[in-house]
Amino acid sequence: MSMHQIMIYTRFERLWHWLQALSILTLLFTGLRIHGTHALISFEMAVNIHTVVAIGLLCLWAFATFWLFTTGNWKHYMPTKQGLWRIVRFYSYGIFQGEHHPYRKAFWRKHNPLQAAAYLGLKVVIFPMVWISGLIYLYVISGGSWQGLINFPSTVAMVHTAAAFALILFLLIHVYMLTIGDGFFTHVKPMMNGFDMVDVSHVEEAYLEADEPGHIRSGVDR
């Protein structure tokens, strides 16, 4: 095994990541206005922007899910117990003792076990809570016929709000994690140019050099 600069985030992944981030921040901003937390824009504008961006993000999520399964990238998001305790120990104790991160990215596994579990929970729990509760509200507001099926509309609002606060918590933790270790820019750079230091086997190195030479660089960043 040897360390190389490998393109592990494709152009679509990077575009998906930043569009998703921008959309979520916009939804949080407009959602807080709808709840009356601030009055930086009008209520009507907040509702209109929230609805349009939400529909666009839902389409992006649907396409990204299709891409994950058709390309096989879903495997990176499958949690595993192997090495999980070492990661948990590092973030809860070792990091404050100046220990090195115990996980090295691999060509076939770009997320550590804790990251994979967090991203999977985001995709199969929090996002569906946002989708379902948001679509119900959108349908009810637009005069749909689901009114009789919803005895307590306030429950839908609570679910939607709880999912929104879970997203805020995830974003705060996500940004905090970017400040750990080698520095903020070092962690963000791979999501800008696609390349990161990855542990590759000699077989993987030979494959990349022969079939995808543009996806591998030497171990020195350039």
pLDDT in tens, 81-109: 887 888 888 888 887 777 777 777 777 77
Percentage with pLDDT > 70 across the chain: 91
Give me the mean pLDDT over the 174-195 stretch.
83
Is residue 208's pLDDT more than 80? no
Q: What pLDDT shows up at residue 7? A: 84
CATH homologous superfamily of 2-212 equals: Transmembrane di-heme cytochromes, Chain C (1.20.950.20)
Q: What is the pLDDT of residue 222?
A: 40
More confident site: 192 or 154: 192
pTM: 0.81
Reported confidence tier of residue 149, pLDDT bands at 50, 70, 90? very low
Q: What does pLDDT average to over the chain?
A: 83
User: Residues of the chain with pLDDT > 90: what percent?
Assistant: 27
* Cβ contacts of 204 within 8 Å, gap of 6 or more: 107, 108
Amino acid at position 128, single letter: P
Q: How is the chain split into domains, by residue range?
A: 2-212
Residue, of 199 and 147, whose pLDDT is higher: 199
The per-residue pLDDT for 36 is: 87
Per-residue confidence (pLDDT) for residue 129, from 0 to 100: 92
> Is residue 29 over pLDDT 70?
yes
DSSP string for the chain: -EEEEEE-S-HHHHHHHHHHHHHHHHHHHHHHHHTTS--SS-HHHHHHHHHHHHHHHHHHHHHHHHHHHHHTGGGGG---STTHHHHHHHHHTGGGGTPPPS---BTTB-S-HHHHHHHHHIIIIIHHHHHHHHHHHHHHHTT-S-GGG-S-HHHHHHHHHHHHHHHHHHHHHHHHHHTSSS-HHHHHTHHHHSEEEEEE-HHHHHHHHHH-GGGEE-SS--
Residue with the bigger pLDDT between 133 and 105: it is 133
CA distances from 93 to 98, 177, 184 (A): 9, 14, 21
pLDDT at position 128, please? 92
Q: pLDDT class for 201, splitting at 50, 70, 90?
A: confident
CA distance linking residue 15 with residue 116, whole number of Å: 20
